[in-house]
Structures are given as C-alpha cells and as structure tokens.
Structure 1
Amino acid sequence: MEVYLIRHGIAEEQQAGIKDEERQLTKEGRQKTEKVAQRLVKLGLQFDLIVTSPLVRARQTAEILLEVGLSSQMEESNHLAPNGHISSWLDYWLQPKNFAPNTQLAVVGHEPCLSNWAEILLWGEVKGGLVLKKAGMIGVKLPESGEPVGRSQMFWLTPPRYLL
C-alpha cells in the first residue's frame, strides 16, 4: 500500500472570532492547491480513496483533489484531526481486510501530525527531521505484511514549489 500524506493548503490566519477548525483556505491557498493537484494529475497519480481531517481547510484541500480527478471517493476521519494519534489511525484504516496491497491512499491533514506520522512509519519514532509544507506531500510505501511502524519506505517528499 502507498500512503500519500498531504498537508492542507494555505489557510486563514488564526484570529479572534474564527475557531481553528473553521479556518478556510485563502484565495492563494486554493489557487496553489489547485495547481499542485493538476500537476499530480499530469504526473499520472490516482488515489483509490482520499481520507481527510474534518477541519474545513483540510476538507477543502481534499475536495480540490477530488475535483481535478485524483480520486472518485473521499471520506472524513476524526483520526486525522490535529489531536489524532497514529496508532488509532493505523488500527482503523490500515487493516489488510480494508485495502488491497496495491491501494493508493491519500491522507489530507495537518502539521506536525503528518510529518510525525511519516517518521513513525519510517523509523519507528519521531525524529523531527521531516517538514511538510502547505500543499506538500510525503509518499510512504507500507510493507505488504506485518507491522508498518518502523518498516515503511519513503518514496516521495515534495514541497509544493516543485509542483507549481
């Protein structure tokens, strides 16, 4: 299975009167995310499913990926909210009975969760070495069998500027 960890696009700044979970993509954030998504289509990417955090900015990012044709399916998961834990996400989403070994799964969420999760999958612990820019992507290939933690391989790390 290939998991593409995708950070949401540029969102409104935190400010009084707007709850964090309600912050939306800015006009620039939407435009850059659309360009990145279109580039991913040109590169031939196709996701079997897009799973997104329930926060507005992540959901809007996932909707852009869906609109350009990167997938035909999208689901929301509370496991991907900023306070989510990788262990609960792995238990729920990465069961062999849920996905075939060649599944390509896009996961849209937040920092530092996504970078930390990538490091846990790769090295078994958070090392603080990976940084995922807004609308950037980390691709991780999970092993065909056994525990993915500390046994996965990174095959993609792209800041959005390389896709624009």
Structure 2
Amino acid sequence: MELFLMRHGIAAKPQFYDSDRQRPLTDQGAQQHDRVIRILAPLIEPLDHLLTSPYTRARQTAEITAAALSCANPVEETDCLADDCSVDTVLHLLQQYPPSAHVLCVGHEPHMSHLSAVFLDGKGRSVISFQPGSVVSLAFRGHPQAGQGALRFFLQPAEVLLLAGQ
C-alpha cells in the first residue's frame, strides 16, 4: 500500500468558533494548499482513496486535494482521523482497502506525526512535525503495519513552493 498522511491546511483561529470541529481553512490556507497539491500531484497520483476527518478544515483540504488530483473514488469522511484517531483504529480502517491501494488520509496534529512515527519505527519514537498542509508518503508491502513503512518523502508546504520556484 502507498499511504499518504496529510495535515489540513492553515485554519482559522479557534476563538472565533463555538466548536473546534467548525474551524475552516483561511483564504490563505486554501490558496496555499491548492498551489502545493497541484505541484505534488505527479508524486501522489494515481490515488484510489481519499479519506478525511469530518472537521471542516480537514474536509476542505480533502476537497481541494480531490479537485487537483484524479482519484478513483469520492472523498470519504471518517471519525478515525479526528478525535478517535489512534494507530489501531487507522490500521483497522486501512485493512478495508486492497493492499495495492494508494490511500491519502487528511487529519490533524498530533495524530499525523504519531501515525507516521509508528509506521516508520514501530514504537513512535521518530520525530516528524507536521506543519499545516504537510504530507508524508509511506510505502508498505501489503497492508500497513507498525514499523514496516518505507519513507518515500516528507514535505512541508514552504519546501514544496521553494522547490517549485514559487
């Protein structure tokens, strides 16, 4: 399986919203993510499944991603990438997809960092810090398992834009 873990783009400040679930992307966050995902498209496509947390900012990030990439299936919301995010719940979720699938998951910190670390070293000791809009690509032989991921790339938006000369 090819697994991409992505943190949502830059979001509005929490003090302006009744619930953290409702916080949207800022205009800057949406625009930056659109530029970044279009640059990354050749590294991510073809994409079979795009999964997202149901939080507004994650859903918006997933929709921008889906518009920029060719994905075989519509965006799927799952609580496994929100408050209930754990290694076990994500592993169980990913078992539902073919072992040859290319899957992109949009979620939150500290979950994306922790998942990446566990998939890489088996214990979660690796340090990967996801800025808004960051993405990691992990390759597995078959379904994901702790400690079995091979790092293909980890890029933050500023790095992507710099590499693209923007």
Q: Same fold by TM (over 0.5)?
A: yes
Question: Corresponding residue for 2:18?
Answer: 18
Matched, 1:108 2:106: yes
Flag the structure with higher helix content.
Answer: 2
Say how many residue pairs are matched.
Answer: 160
Runs of 5+ consecutive residues of structure 2 not aligned to the other structure:
162-166
1:42-81 residue pairs with structure 2 within 5 A?
42-43=42-43, 45-71=45-71, 72-81=73-82
Matched, 1:142 2:140: yes
Q: CA deviation at 1:138?
A: 0.6
Matched, 1:89 2:90: yes
TM-superposition CA deviations, 1:132-163 (whole Å, max 9, x none): 11111011112326x71112211110011122
Structure 1 residues 17 and 131: CA distance shift in structure 2, 3 A: closer
Question: Corresponding residue for 1:158?
Answer: 155
Matched AA of 1:104: H
TM-superposition CA deviations, 1:86-126 (whole Å, max 9, x none): 201211x222xx33332110000001100100111111122
2:3·2:138 contact (CA, 8 Å) conserved in 1?
Answer: yes
Q: Structure 2 CA distance, aligned partners of 1:89 and 1:128?
A: 18
Query: Is the partner of 1:129 in helix, strand or coil?
Result: coil
Query: Is the partner of 2:14 in helix, strand or coil?
Result: coil
Query: Is the partner of 1:163 in helix, strand or coil?
Result: helix
TM-score, reference length from structure 2: 0.88
TM-score, reference length from structure 1: 0.89
Query: Is the partner of 1:46 in helix, strand or coil?
Result: coil
Identity %: 31
Q: CA deviation at 1:32?
A: 0.4
Structure 1 residues 67 and 143: CA distance shift in structure 2, 3 A: same
Structure 1 residues 30 and 17: CA distance shift in structure 2, 3 A: closer
CA RMSD of aligned residues (A): 1.8
Q: Structure 2 CA distance, aligned partners of 1:100 and 1:9?
A: 28
Runs of 5+ consecutive residues of structure 1 not aligned to the other structure:
none
Q: Structure 2 CA distance, aligned partners of 1:90 and 1:150?
A: 12
Q: CA deviation at 1:11?
A: 0.2
Q: CA deviation at 1:44?
A: 6.1
